[in-house]
Amino acid sequence: MTKLLTFFILISLLSCNNKVQDEAKTDGNIEKSLELNLAESDNLNFAELLKNNPFELNLSSKNLTEFPDLSSYEIHSLNVSDNKIESIPQTKLPKNLRTLIASNNEISNFKLSNSIDALEKIDLSKNELDTFYVYNGSNKIILNNNNLVYVKFFGNNINYLDISNNPNLNNVVDFFPIGIDTILRSNILNKKPLYDFLQGEDGMIIIKD
């Protein structure tokens, strides 16, 4: 009886040990996968990617979790869409950037505190944005399908703005809609016309949905 009990105890201990090893192996694989994702941008050969077109870089669908440091490169068009990027530090942006496409990521806020005069287009659609602040607006800004509650930019050179499908964004905004040729704003908090909070309702600009 004692031998039989000892046998079952040994079997139980071996089973527990194997389970612990399997869990440790799984955790190790997850950690390794995360490390690979985080290091993905470091392993990219930007010089090789820019070889055919030195001013256009496509990093879409590269499984990036961090925005790579491109500050030493001169890139006019940058595409980092369809990744898992959570933020885009201005200090990492390339020189003389004209087009930034970063749709379908996990970016929660976007801020450019200094003017980037060359920047003509910003596409941050399908992210998790709640705040968008740009010191000097671009010609075309695409912010649809986010969680925006605050949008602010300066400058009068904007001719296209898409803020549609931001159900928490109020029609009282912190920019002047009067100078923007095209504004898409369906499915925001309400269907009232957009107007700047400093401008007041008396000077509101009627925007067609």
Tens of pLDDT, residue by residue over 12-42, are: 544 555 544 544 444 444 333 333 333 455 5
Q: Which residues contact 61 (CB under 8 A, 6 or more apart)?
A: 81, 82, 83
Amino acid at 154: F
Reported as half-sphere exposure (CB side, CA atoms, 13 A), residue 37 has a value of: 14
Q: Residue 114 — very low, low, confident or very high, per pLDDT cuts 50/70/90?
A: confident
Amino acid at 192: K
Reported residue count of the chain is 209
User: Range with the lowest mean pLDDT among 73-77, 153-157, 166-170?
Assistant: 153-157
Burial track 154-176 (b if 16+ CB lie within 10 A, e otherwise): ebeebeebbbbbbeebbbbbebb
The confidence score (pLDDT) of residue 54 equals 82
> What is the pTM assigned to this prediction?
0.74
**Highest mean pLDDT pick, 1-10, 79-88, 168-177, 186-195:** 79-88
The confidence score (pLDDT) of residue 14 equals 47
The confidence score (pLDDT) of residue 13 equals 45
Q: How far apart are CA 91 and CA 114, in angstroms?
A: 10
User: Range with the lowest mean pLDDT among 18-27, 67-76, 171-180?
Assistant: 18-27
Q: Residue 97 — very low, low, confident or very high, per pLDDT cuts 50/70/90?
A: very high
The confidence score (pLDDT) of residue 87 equals 96
Q: Which residues contact 75 (CB under 8 A, 6 or more apart)?
A: 50, 55, 56, 57, 94, 95, 96, 97
Q: How far apart are CA 176 and CA 197, in angstroms?
A: 9
Per-residue model confidence as pLDDT tens digits over 43-67: 677 777 777 788 999 999 999 999 9
